[in-house]
Amino acid sequence: MSRTPIIAGNWKMFKTVSEAVAFFEAVKGKAEVAGVESVICAPFTNLPALVEAAKGTSIAIGAQNLHFEDNGAFTGEISGVMLKDLGVKYVLIGHSERRQYFAETDETVNKKVHAAFRHSLVPIVCIGENLEEREAGTTKDVCRVQTEAAFKGVSAEQAAQSVIAYEPVWAIGTGKSSTSADAQDVIGYVRSIIAELYDQATADAIRIQYGGSVKPNNVAEYMGQADIDGALVGGASLEPDSYIALVEGAK
Ligand SMILES: O=C(CO)COP(=O)(O)O
């Protein structure tokens, strides 16, 4: 089976439009490596300029969130209709910061996954345990609950196109990354859950990333693991040279 490696930068709440465009000009042609998919998930305000800048390149643009309704009286929200209209390809769903600070639940994550597919956006579904759960030994249980909930009512064909990002919360922005063996253990388990929910072909097709303090100097180690298909990267995706090194490291 061959899954295309996927490196996605999650810029979180960083970069003005001019900073985003300057970044893109610096990585163009460099963070484009044959056989590796490269995605920038930027703040909403940067998306029109980035989609324009990305034309003619192999770099895809993603959003960091969407509302689960297509339109309506939801002040301050952005829908899948709007993202699709812009030319965005990917959308992060259920990032732990959204779950923690913006009250997202397994149920809203599931609704957002359906909203993404209604508009032909590829969801990057984020799952992962917090420190307390890790210390209690419930990492796999937490990942099972989150995965099963996120994919409720999602077809095998849709699941096969999806991306899952396993991001242990305690490893995000802390410099304390999961060991590659631990990440492989959990990600292999998540793949087995997809096989149970669907079938082996779907499990073989879905791409699963590791996220949490991934840097240019450790990305290759994660990529060397059988079930790890890429990385979702925060801090190290913000500087052009670092981002280019991440994409090169995923070869
Ligand atoms: O949250 C993350 C990506 O979504 C990970 O962030 P860091 O790479 O900064 O640890």
Residues 74-111 pLDDT 10s? 999 999 999 999 999 999 999 999 999 999 999 999 99
The reply to whether ligand 1 has any atom less than 6 angstroms from the CB of 233 is: yes
Closest C-alpha among 31, 89, 92 to residue 60: 89
State the amino acid at position 173 in one-letter form: G
120/90 Cα distance (integer angstroms) = 9
Catalytic residue among 37, 104, 129, 167: 167
Atom of ligand 1 nearest to the CA of 233: 8
Whole-angstrom CA distances from 79 to 2, 13, 176, 226 are 32, 18, 34, 35
Catalytic residue among 37, 67, 95, 104: 95
The reply to whether ligand 1 has any atom less than 6 angstroms from the CB of 62 is: no
Q: Residue 65: its pLDDT value, please?
A: 98
- Global ipTM: 0.99
> Strands 207-211 and 230-233: what pairing?
parallel
The reply to whether ligand 1 has any atom less than 6 angstroms from the CB of 177 is: no
CA of 234 to the centre of ligand 1 (A): 4
The residue length of the chain stands at 251
Q: Average pLDDT, stretch 116-139? A: 97
pLDDT grade, residue 177 (50/70/90)? confident
129/30 Cα distance (integer angstroms) = 34
Angle of CA points 207, 211, 214, to nearest 5°:
120
Residue to probe by mutation, ligand 1, list 10, 11, 98, most atoms within 8 Å of CB: 10
State the amino acid at position 22 in one-letter form: A
Q: Catalytic: 119? A: no
Element (H, E) at 90: strand 90-93
Confidence check: pLDDT of 52 > 80: yes
Q: Catalytic: 167? A: yes
The reply to whether ligand 1 has any atom less than 6 angstroms from the CB of 234 is: yes
pLDDT grade, residue 2 (50/70/90)? confident
CA of 199 to the centre of ligand 1 (A): 30
Q: What mean pLDDT is reported for the chain?
A: 97
CA of 20 to the centre of ligand 1 (A): 18
The model carries a pTM of 0.98
The reply to whether ligand 1 has any atom less than 6 angstroms from the CB of 206 is: no
pLDDT grade, residue 1 (50/70/90)? low
117/137 Cα distance (integer angstroms) = 34
Q: Is 234 annotated for ligand binding? A: yes
Q: Is 58 annotated for ligand binding? A: no
- How many percent of the chain have pLDDT more than 90? 98
Phi/psi of residue 173, nearest 5 degrees = 70, 15
165/208 Cα distance (integer angstroms) = 6
Please check whether residue 247 is in contact with residue 7, taking contact to mean a CB–CB distance below 8 angstroms. yes
DSSP symbols for 193-250: HHHHHS-HHHHHHSEEEEESS--TTTHHHHHTSTT--EEEESGGGSSHHHHHHHHHHT
The reply to whether ligand 1 has any atom less than 6 angstroms from the CB of 232 is: yes
Atom of ligand 1 nearest to the CA of 211: 5
Tokens describing residue 104 = 């997202």
Please check whether residue 60 is in contact with residue 47, taking contact to mean a CB–CB distance below 8 angstroms. no
What residue's CA is closest to ligand 1, atom 7? 234
